[in-house]
Amino acid sequence: MIREHNILIASVGGQGGITLSRIIARAAMKMGYRVIVGETLGMAQRGGPVQSHVRIGSQVYGPLIPEGRCHILIALEPVEALRAARYLSPESTILLNETVLPPITAILGEVPYPTLREVVEALNRIGCGVYHLNAEKLALEAGSKRCLNVVMLGAYMAYMEAERLNIITMEAAEEAVRESVPSRYLEANLRALKLGYEALMKSMSSSAY
Amino acid sequence: MSGILGGEGEHRLLMGNEAIARGALEAGVGLAIGYPGTPSSEVIQTLSRVADQISMRVEWAVNEKVAVDIATGYAYAGLRALATMKNAGLNVASDTLMSVAYSDVKGGLVIYVADDPGAHAGMEEQDNRWFTRLSLLPMIDVSDPQEGKDAVVMAFELSEEYEVPMLVRSTTRVAHMTSIVELGPVRELRRTPGFERDIRRYTRASPKWCMEQHERLNEKLKLLSGRVDGLPVNRLHIPEDGAERGVVASGISWSYLRELLDRHGLWDRVAALKIGTVNPLPRGLIERLMEGVGELLILEELEPYLELHLRAVASELDLRPIIHGKMDGWLPRVGEYTPELVERALGRLLGLELERSNREVEEARAEALKQAPRRPLPLCPGCPHRGTYTAMRMALRELGYKDGEFIVTGDIGCTILGMHPPFNLCWTEVSMGASIGLGIGLRYAGIDKPIIAAIGDSTLFHAGLPPALNSAWHRSRIVIAVLDNRVTAMTGHQPSPTSGYTATGGEAKVIEADEVLRALGVEHIWVADPYNLEEAKEAFKEALRCDGPSAVVLKRVCALVARRMGLTEQPYRVDPERCTGCQLCLRTLACPAMTLSPEGKAEIDGEACTGCGLCAQICPVGAIGRSEP
């Protein structure tokens, strides 16, 4: 019985953050949990920041994770993890894709863009544990950059297993992926799920934070 | 794969707007019609995707008023109609709705309106609960998807029982939240349409009839008022041993309150009233609450609508509970409520420290956030508006106008994205179609600069035609730039009169903006392809030289639609040998498909590039060309 498990997915429009939130929500529903998804996207659906709040448990009613109550932040882009800072606390764990999508202002050098190391340090200062992986590379390996979100789902599955947070089983996750992605991308996505899972398992066994 | 087609008793994960769509199925709605607008669009969109499996006519109308006109006619014929719109859409529809309130609708007529506290969609934070005071119409304000679905079904029942149009309101948080919904039975009404002449009901042409209708509306409201206490959208909780303090909540605030009362175990310490009918108010429940408590907290977003009414009830009953809300400054009138805001107010009411705060953590969070650079809203790769705005700038420059020496009025939709760098065009954004009227007004005021009104095709057809007609009639010297991307793009690519298809994918007549403008009397019109900078620039130059009203129609399908239809072309690539690293392409176009290599050369992401070719036209050294297939 879970009372409240809050997953925040921070992404840039077009990265598949919203689809990922739906996949996790479907999987949680299959496991018999109450689940609520809230979205903050404003006009920024294309290329702007998107935050999806997935809330699982018997005591959740609102669509937003209250400040500081995020358990797991899945960031599909490093800077988007920083942008989600208000939801984080020392009890939060962050799963981070390393590959960056700098805005045009940063590309042209008009504004500074933090390095991966700076991002991780800033998150560590809040007290969060951070695991990062190159999800884009793994997604390409799986067959398409579009599977980046499902690579991160794989990482989340590995993290839950390691922490014995058995909220969603691999079967439920796979089934939810099947129901949520276009059939021509299904095989690639299932590979992505596995690759993300293995990558995080490996990095968790070799190093922590 | 739509979740809304499940059987009775099934549980489905539905977004608020999808739940509203399901409600329409369960209510036996025969016509669902609306105009796209965030955060309401998904209702019609969801229904349109399953239209071939349900017996419902699903349609996008040219604007909200037309949608409500059509829905009213349908309901006059005895069948059930749902009209949907965003907050400002109700303003457009209100002309009809104010009047229809006085008619007796035979079939159920429900208007679904989605407000936007927090201005996520970049429009006013209009609180449409006040529309009930203006129109006298009943309204249900919903707080989650399940309630949204159930409220639609209930609204149709009540609409027919009292022969009055009903409003169902949600907000962005509710409309766009997804949760598990238990489905009810789908109904199919097999009614024979009929409409009888009854001018005492269906016209307002005689003052006597009009006032009789007004009186009847008031009577209906009084009757309905006696019913609402018992409706499931209104709920009163009083702890067994009573409570000194109470909370009143509506909409999303109720979800936040429930969660807090659960988490902190406070249900036995406060009375709680959830209000779902903002008109008529559940008077009996309000009285019962007020008789028991000495202090009340009211949780509602935007205006103190409930607060004012509750203060009035208290004064009528000669009760003097201390009422906290917006009027004593406990809670803001601007922006949406958050769980934290509600937690703080609840803690203050109960004299409890409910929030955990840790200074160090808070500082580290603020520090982290500061390091995140803003993401300016870009135009998508291949967006035709990029070509339009680039060509517009080129034309103005070649005619010798510097920044500040011309005015571009902007309009609603993707068009307004031209206000961002590097284009820095679009000085105004007021309401649908207003770019044209504003331009005329600026001209009348004596401003002699070139004035361009930038407006999308869907926006032009929605409310831009009357001002265009006005400009032609009075020979106003403005340039109407129609950014014709063949869809209603910003809200999710719903068809517009230029698309050639209907909401459900059926064939439709293609209406061309240039032909319509010509018929309205705009004599000087150029049509150009925004992917062809030279052509578009020359068209703008010609139009700017005109002495009367002129128009440039820039036709090219939205790049996201083109991609979905497989219409994109071979991507471009940069020859790193020839690229001098001048960055002109990036600085002029700000295309998200372009970046700089570590060596400072322009680079194109072949997966993101749609092959529009603007960068190749901008490059001064010819370093950009189409990649090999």
Low-confidence ranges of chain B (pLDDT < 50): 1
Chosen for mutation from B178, B491, B586, B588 (greatest number of chain A CBs closer than 10 Å) is B178
Structure-block tokens of residue B432: 């649908």
Domain harbouring B82, CATH code: 3.40.50.970
Answer yes or no: is B452 within a domain. Answer: yes
Domain harbouring A89, CATH code: 3.40.920.10
Query: In this complex, do A62 and B367 lie within 8 Å of one another by their Cβ atoms?
Result: no
Q: Judging by DSSP bridges, how do beta strands B479-484 and B550-555 pair with one another?
A: parallel
A91 interfaces chain B, CB cutoff of 8 Å: no
Domain total for chain A? Answer: 1
For the cut 50, the answer to whether the pLDDT of residue A139 exceeds it is yes
Answer yes or no: is B355 within a domain. Answer: no
Phi, psi torsion values for A50, nearest 5 degrees: -130, 130
Q: Where are the beta strands (DSSP E) in chain A?
A: 5-12, 35-40, 49-56, 72-75, 93-97, 129-133
**Residue-wise pLDDT tens digits, A153-177:** 999 999 999 999 889 999 999 999 9
Nearest residue to A135 (alpha-carbon basis) of A47, A17, A7, A27 = A17
Structure-block tokens of residue B433: 């179609």
Contact between residue B183 and residue B24 where contact means Cβ atoms under 8 Å apart: no
Terminal CA-CA length for chain B: 35
pLDDT of residue B519: 98
Q: Where does the pLDDT of residue A41 fall: very low under 50, low under 70, confident under 90, or very high at 90 and above? A: low
A89 interfaces chain B, CB cutoff of 8 Å: yes
DSSP B461: I
CA B373 to chain centre: 28
Query: In this complex, do A61 and B259 lie within 8 Å of one another by their Cβ atoms?
Result: yes
How far apart, in whole angstroms, are the C-alpha atoms of residue A32 and residue A23? 14
Chosen for mutation from B371, B589, B615 (greatest number of chain A CBs closer than 10 Å) is B371
A66 interfaces chain B, CB cutoff of 8 Å: yes
**Which of B544, B564, B584 finishes a domain?**
B564
Query: In this complex, do A89 and B590 lie within 8 Å of one another by their Cβ atoms?
Result: no
Domain harbouring B584, CATH code: 3.30.70.20
In the chain, the amino acid numbered A82 is L
In the chain, the amino acid numbered B199 is I
Looking at beta carbons, which residues of chain A come within 8 Å of B560? Answer: 46
Contact between residue B35 and residue B189 where contact means Cβ atoms under 8 Å apart: no
Answer yes or no: is B260 within a domain. Answer: yes
Contact between residue B328 and residue B306 where contact means Cβ atoms under 8 Å apart: no
Looking at beta carbons, which residues of chain B come within 8 Å of A106? Answer: 373
Contact between residue B591 and residue B617 where contact means Cβ atoms under 8 Å apart: no
How far apart, in whole angstroms, are the C-alpha atoms of residue B414 and residue B487? 11
Phi, psi torsion values for B625, nearest 5 degrees: -145, 170
Tokens 């019913």 belong to B227
How far apart, in whole angstroms, are the C-alpha atoms of residue A209 and residue A202? 13
Q: Is the peptide bond before B39 cis (omega within 30 degrees of 0)?
A: yes
Structure-block tokens of residue B567: 């219409």
Tokens 């789908």 belong to B186
3-class secondary-structure state, position A151: helix
Contact between residue B313 and residue B321 where contact means Cβ atoms under 8 Å apart: no
Answer yes or no: is B165 within a domain. Answer: yes
State whether B323 and B397 are in the same domain: no
Interface list for A 114-173 with B (CB within 8 A): 114, 118-119, 122-123, 125-127, 145
Domain total for chain B? Answer: 4
Q: Where does the pLDDT of residue A209 fall: very low under 50, low under 70, confident under 90, or very high at 90 and above? A: very low
Region of residue B506 (phi > 0: left; psi between -120 and 50: alpha; otherwise: beta): beta
State whether B257 and B344 are in the same domain: yes
pLDDT of residue A45: 60
Domain harbouring B302, CATH code: 3.40.50.920
Answer yes or no: is B375 within a domain. Answer: no
Domain that holds residue B326: 235-350
**Which of B536, B564, B592 finishes a domain?**
B564
Contact between residue B91 and residue B66 where contact means Cβ atoms under 8 Å apart: no
Contact between residue B458 and residue B416 where contact means Cβ atoms under 8 Å apart: no
Length of chain A: 209
Query: In this complex, do A82 and B371 lie within 8 Å of one another by their Cβ atoms?
Result: yes
Query: In this complex, do B371 and A64 lie within 8 Å of one another by their Cβ atoms?
Result: no
Contact between residue B6 and residue B12 where contact means Cβ atoms under 8 Å apart: yes
Distance to chain A for B344, nearest Cα, Å: 12
DSSP B420: S
pLDDT of residue B231: 98
Answer yes or no: is B621 within a domain. Answer: yes
Half-sphere exposure at residue B628, Cβ-oriented, CA atoms within 13 angstroms: 1
Half-sphere exposure at residue B4, Cβ-oriented, CA atoms within 13 angstroms: 28
How far apart, in whole angstroms, are the C-alpha atoms of residue B93 and residue B113? 11
Structure-block tokens of residue B457: 């095709």
Query: In this complex, do A82 and B340 lie within 8 Å of one another by their Cβ atoms?
Result: no
pLDDT of residue B213: 97
Q: Nearest CB to A127: which of B176, B255, B361?
A: B361
Domain that holds residue A121: 5-206
How far apart, in whole angstroms, are the C-alpha atoms of residue B596 and residue B609? 15
Tokens 């107010």 belong to B345
Tokens 């004035």 belong to B451
ipTM for the predicted complex: 0.95
3-class secondary-structure state, position B302: coil
Chosen for mutation from B253, B355, B365 (greatest number of chain A CBs closer than 10 Å) is B365
Q: Where does the pLDDT of residue A151 fall: very low under 50, low under 70, confident under 90, or very high at 90 and above? A: very high
- Please give the C-alpha separations between residue A36 and each of A73, A128, B322, B565, in angstroms, as whole numbers: 16, 24, 35, 33
Contact between residue B627 and residue B571 where contact means Cβ atoms under 8 Å apart: yes
How far apart, in whole angstroms, are the C-alpha atoms of residue B248 and residue B296? 7
* Residue environment code for B79-109, b if the CB has 16+ CB neighbours within 10 A, otherwise e: bbbbbbbbbbbbbbbbebbebbbbbbbbbbb
Contact between residue B486 and residue B508 where contact means Cβ atoms under 8 Å apart: no
* B435 CB-near residues (< 8 Å, 6+ apart): B409, B410, B411, B428, B453, B454, B455, B464
Query: In this complex, do A88 and B377 lie within 8 Å of one another by their Cβ atoms?
Result: no
Chosen for mutation from A12, A18, A36 (greatest number of chain B CBs closer than 10 Å) is A36
Answer yes or no: is B137 within a domain. Answer: yes
Query: In this complex, do B177 and A67 lie within 8 Å of one another by their Cβ atoms?
Result: no
Q: Nearest CB to A36: which of B177, B374, B590?
A: B177
Q: Nearest CB to B607: which of A89, A107, A145?
A: A145
Structure-block tokens of residue B220: 């209906």
State whether B195 and B314 are in the same domain: no
pLDDT of residue B281: 98
Answer yes or no: is B613 within a domain. Answer: yes
**Which of B184, B200, B228 finishes a domain?**
B228
